[in-house]
């Protein structure tokens, strides 16, 4: 679940962050709903999420809370999941991560970054709700290398830059 007090998180190591929110949806192209924990399935994605697909390179999407905060002045009611991201992070500079980087989440889940940003072909439902979209420039996408259960407030560690 999204925690209102995300601003109180103070992290000093740029390779370590935390999960602020986990979000899923049954349909693509819509804001996702927050959940407390999720099962990441190897080479599939998050169990129950519309974007989970065996063999696809965009099984999981990540967006920094810091990216969402940039838009809070215009739209103060934005919450994690509004940009259809699966994992909202705090404390990591996701824009500095390169393709091929490995990220460990929680005790055992391992992701590999496969794409930086995405092309928006049209103004989707997310753009219409939020008035803008940060996913094309600040979101990153990954495939699940090793599955595992993850929860809000779990640690995220960048293993390779």
* CATH value at residue 51: 2.40.33.20
Tell me whether residue 5 is in a domain: no
Tell me whether residue 16 is in a domain: no
| Integer Cα distance of 134 and 20 in angstroms | 17
Prediction pTM value: 0.85
pLDDT digits (tens, 9 = 90+) for 81-117: 988 899 999 999 998 999 999 999 999 999 999 999 8
pLDDT of 98: 94
| pLDDT over threshold 50, residue 6 | no
Work out the average pLDDT over 8-17.
61
Tell me whether residue 131 is in a domain: yes
Cβ contacts of residue 135 below 8 Å, gap of 6+?
A: 61, 63, 83, 84, 85, 117, 118, 120, 126
| Integer Cα distance of 64 and 85 in angstroms | 9
Q: Where in the sequence is the domain holding 40, given as residue range(s)?
A: 24-158
In total, how many domains does the chain have? 1
């Amino acid at each position: 679940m999204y925690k209102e007090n995300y601003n109180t998180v103070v992290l000093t190591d740029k390779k370590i962050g935390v999960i602020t929110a986990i979000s899923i949806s049954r349909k693509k192209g819509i804001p996702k709903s927050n959940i407390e924990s999720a099962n990441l399935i190897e080479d599939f994605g998050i169990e129950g999420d519309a974007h989970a697909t065996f063999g696809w390179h965009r099984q999981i999407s990540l967006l920094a809370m810091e990216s969402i905060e940039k838009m809070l002045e215009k739209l103060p009611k934005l919450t994690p999941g509004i940009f259809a991201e699966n994992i909202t992070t705090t404390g990591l500079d996701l824009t500095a991560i390169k393709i091929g980087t490995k990220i460990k989440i929680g005790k055992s889940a391992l992701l590999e970054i496969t794409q930086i940003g995405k092309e928006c072909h049209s103004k989707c439902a997310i753009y219409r709700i939020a008035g803008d979209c940060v996913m094309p420039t600040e979101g990153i996408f990954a495939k699940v290398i090793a599955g595992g259960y993850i929860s809000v407030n779990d640690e995220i560690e960048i293993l390779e830059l």
